[in-house]
Structure 1
């Protein structure tokens, strides 16, 4: 059990830091969010930038989705062991996640994923209590919808009927409040991808829950076999396909991001879990730091975007205006600085407290109505 928990924390930490590897390009683009959207999926940027984005694009977000599914399975298993009704209070947990995601979107970051995770978690909460046949049926159906959407986008791009590029508007960007107003005004634009990937997120959530129950993260012969299979399919097959679709050009961006990248995410899950399983020695500073990030994943997810906003946007230190012209070098530097701050900060905090700061507030909000309900019922 201890090794499995260690793998979970490390996987969450890698997913959080890796997801920031995708999001950091939003903060460091010289033309801001609209410049990022104009280049998104259109092949804009230098060769170095394209290679770096290939390493992160969609993969760690896919891994984060899988980890949410695993967390949901853990919650369900805990409720069953304690004889509690399911989904029961888990739906309140989803509501809190939805509220936090909306606040994070409005106040901090245009491309928040928590809102959509909250929506998917409600559906999957009911499905994890059903039989395997029902779950597989939903995975097949959701996967088919995702592939159909990807096919439509790809055909449209190939025929020139669809474009991925200029969003057609300019954001204020000079003040924090202006950013809030822009996120309200262009809600549909910024939230479009989240709605688009709801079927894919459903597949990844359910896959994560099923892999966890199958023992993919256990320190056992069965777990080792499952991890090897994940590596073979996710890295052995997914990576070559990912490279091929990237080299094929921007017309294949949807296949690259919504089909190949999630496949690679499963390989990352298997590879990282296998590595943690083999590392029997006492964890070093890096592993302890990544583990701390995983234990405070919600705080670090929000924190990395707050830090990047303060450092890069004009209402903060405005570093992108000064150094954004350096391109990939500046972006990598921002990622390294903020990731280092997260690792150091999370290590310090988790060495003194049981939960991250956001998790602590969130836990209070989650448990308060339960206590009130039990008092009234008594």
Structure 2
């Protein structure tokens, strides 16, 4: 990788980043939608599927989550540059951002979705915040160490799965998601918190690698429109699609013993190809964006709101306390699942576009920004000298 450029002296929004973020958010729903639409809920992730559904799951499984993780690393890099540009102490207030993200993730987990990723990202960002400004040598050492830890863990679990000494997940049938109330599901998430949060814990080493890689690729110029940026994107596409996709196809149909490799090793490789492909397409398009690009951009500008609310909408549509479509349309799998995913994505592209006509941030982003600014306003107010009393003049 090329030597990282110093933090830019200027700002300016990079449109390709919003598009990539929008694709990642909708692609993440492409993984989660199979859980919402399964009558067994999240346990359905581990049940055997027909070849058509297995292939459709392959298209999204883990790849867009890894892409989203890379984009969090890019976002952290931008925050680091902004702090350096303003002469602010780092990580400073960024740790408060991470704490708010953890709180948001905790609420999302308890109230909406078992497999929230925000809590894991918050913990990862607290660690990476202390690494992003280190030398290339130090960053490479951390990436190698964390990457090796992740690969060894996944390898050991895979050996256990192949040897029949473990199962990839809970499996089994349940009526919780077809007949249980909303409060029943909240209670189940609290009761099974350790099991549901286990993934968020063991992916932290992988997330550290992807955060740091996203940061370094941003510095290397992967999103620029010059020749260097094009060459770097071409290398990412060659690596991600030439190596990652064929191997990931093999593990998808190789049986449940390869579940961990199929979800946690190869998808990040494919995600690097996506990270090269999407900005390449954006740079190749005409400057005036069409409807699809504007929709993706607006989802990318409201990622927190779209991520949380699209999961809430999917739960309302699919679970028994809502419209109960998971049970009603189970015989129409996998095609109705594709329709549900496309409908939710279209709805949020429209809603995000309408919202941004009046506001500069999404609804949750506005609340989050207010909470982030609140202690800073209080600190600045307390630092101001008290006005002189007119009685003492």
Structure 1 position 377, deviation (Å):
2.1
Structure 1 position 109, deviation (Å):
0.5
Output the CA distance in 2 between the equivalents of 1:268 and 1:359: 26
Matched, 1:129 2:133: yes
Q: How does 1:289-328 map to 2 (within 5 A)?
A: 289-328=295-334
Report the equivalent of 1:13.
22
What is the aligned counterpart of 1:97 among 96, 101, 110? 101
225 and 38 in structure 1: CA distance in 2 versus 1, 3 angstrom threshold: closer
TM-score by structure 2 length? 0.92
Maintained 8 Å contact 1:3/1:218: no
Task: Give the stretch that moved more between structures: 148-157 or 240-249.
Answer: 240-249
Maintained 8 Å contact 1:4/1:218: no
Output the CA distance in 2 between the equivalents of 1:148 and 1:197: 12
313 and 169 in structure 1: CA distance in 2 versus 1, 3 angstrom threshold: closer
What is the aligned counterpart of 1:221 among 203, 220, 227? 227
Output the CA distance in 1 between the equivalents of 2:209 and 2:233: 19
Structure 1 position 351, deviation (Å):
2.3
Maintained 8 Å contact 1:217/1:223: yes
250 and 203 in structure 1: CA distance in 2 versus 1, 3 angstrom threshold: same
Report the equivalent of 2:293.
287
Output the CA distance in 1 between the equivalents of 2:165 and 2:340: 37
Structure 1 position 166, deviation (Å):
3.2
Question: Any idea what SS the aligned residue of 1:127 has?
Answer: coil
Task: Give unpaired runs (5+ residues) of structure 1.
Answer: none
Maintained 8 Å contact 1:92/1:366: yes
Q: Aligned-residue CA RMSD in angstroms?
A: 1.5
Report the equivalent of 1:369.
375
Report the equivalent of 1:246.
252
Maintained 8 Å contact 1:9/1:292: yes
Output the CA distance in 2 between the equivalents of 1:106 and 1:193: 16
Report the equivalent of 2:69.
65
Maintained 8 Å contact 1:13/1:295: yes
Output the CA distance in 1 between the equivalents of 2:207 and 2:312: 25
Maintained 8 Å contact 1:3/1:277: no
Output the CA distance in 2 between the equivalents of 1:9 and 1:25: 25
Report the equivalent of 2:145.
141
Structure 1 position 169, deviation (Å):
8.3
Maintained 8 Å contact 2:146/2:209: yes
Maintained 8 Å contact 1:30/1:325: no
326 and 3 in structure 1: CA distance in 2 versus 1, 3 angstrom threshold: farther
Runs of 4+ in 1 over 4 A off after TM superposition: 1-4, 167-171
Task: Give unpaired runs (5+ residues) of structure 2.
Answer: 1-9, 385-393
Report the equivalent of 2:54.
50
Report the equivalent of 1:158.
162
Larger radius of gyration: 2
Output the CA distance in 2 between the equivalents of 1:37 and 1:244: 18
Output the CA distance in 2 between the equivalents of 1:269 and 1:98: 26
TM-score by structure 1 length? 0.96
Q: How does 1:322-341 map to 2 (within 5 A)?
A: 322-341=328-347
Report the equivalent of 1:22.
31
Matched, 1:273 2:273: no
Structure 1 position 321, deviation (Å):
2.0
Bigger proportion of residues as helix: 1
Output the CA distance in 2 between the equivalents of 1:79 and 1:367: 15
Maintained 8 Å contact 2:40/2:174: no
Output the CA distance in 2 between the equivalents of 1:126 and 1:171: 45
Maintained 8 Å contact 1:4/1:217: no
Structure 1 position 211, deviation (Å):
0.3
